[in-house]
Structure 1
Amino acid sequence: MIERLQLLVAERERVLGHFLESEQREIALACHSIARAFSRGGTLVAYGVDSAETDAAHVAVEFMHPVIVGKRALPALAPPNDVRGVLRSGDIAVSIAHGAEPAPVRAFREQARHRGALTIALTGGDRVDSDHAFAVPSEDPQVVQEVQETLYHVFWELVHVFFEHPGLLDDACITCGDVAIQARVVAVRNGNAVIEKDGLREEVAVELVAPVDVGDMLLCHAGVALERVE
């Protein structure tokens, strides 16, 4: 029995350590995006079904009721039923699944993107299409849940770190210099592309080069994609 428990603990440590090591940059970028959305009046809307429903509620409570004195209480919801009706442009949509994404959770994420919300997807196994997607590399739903719970506690911690440095939340125009820049598309929403360069993201118009997809490299200037870069 003791040996079995040791193996279970070791597996959890292995998966969590690998996940945090491999996803550290994306975690930081996601927390920056979440903090910016909150600073612009966004509300966090979390959604999961079956066993992930309680995690969605946990995420909302985490942000609404800070455990550290002096930290901001932030607007967050975890409606148990049709959450798509409450989503607005600029909100933060957190979708949670302890394995492959169930149909209702996928519909929530897709509707959130359609409405212009920031999308954060937590799954087990395969990564899904989202502004920030995190897939725990395990087939054990209990291990996936435990890693995800650690992750959304890290979200809360780092979001408040960004609040302590408000200058980091100001709008950044990475295409507003004197010369055009090359940047990769990391998301497509509302007919525009979100590009990323040196850890900064900006939404640009793509009428001149449409259609575009995630992974495309574009030459951009003044908020407009001018041409594709092969």
Structure 2
Amino acid sequence: METKIFYSKEQLARFFGDYLTALTNQKDVVHVALSGGSTPEAIFDLLTQEYSRLVKWDRLRFFWGDERCVAPDHEESNYNMTRQHLFNHVPVPEQNVFRVKGELGPRQALSDYKQVLNKELPKENGLPFFDVVVLGMGDDGHTASIFPHEIFLWDSSEICEIGTHPESGQKRITLTGKVINNASEIVFLVTGKKKAEKVDVILNQKEGYESYPAALVNRERSIWLLDQEAVNNDR
């Protein structure tokens, strides 16, 4: 596992921009699963400003690690956030975007996304294979849409599942652990002081760390990109 600590979200975003640029220079096709949240939003904004001509956008094929069961124009949709902050500003071909159709409802959206993953992704170890899975981490240690109260979904035999937000009860479609850990590389984007406690427990494998889904990501294949606040655990 590799960790990199940045002084600001902007510095972190530039590292990620350089990372994407290098990937698209090295490979003709790059399969990426994106994350939602405020950190990717800030990164996308910087990518559109500074990397619109550096990244070879037509080589990227975009999927999502999780999505809420809402319409694609809903304010809580991860796809909608990405469209507003990234796709509307860079030359990503429409046929390279494979969203979760959350408006279909949980069961049908799950079935549809399983078909999409199996059809559109290459296979490795008999599973859909991503070059990069981008993940965030919640204050509660969840990642994708696998929350601590449903940590058993991580080990599901399925490639994706329906997760449930512990407070709102909102249904979400999420990749499961076997697909996430099958990726060539897993990139965590974690910023903010609210994440510091869980970052400390997970990265240093302190007592109880295995109760957090984010701790179950393959350490050998993951890189954690953190801002200064996310590693400052002084209280």
**TM-score of the pair, normalised by structure 1:** 0.35
Greater length-normalized contact order (CA 8 Å, ≥ 6 residues apart): 2
**TM-score of the pair, normalised by structure 2:** 0.34
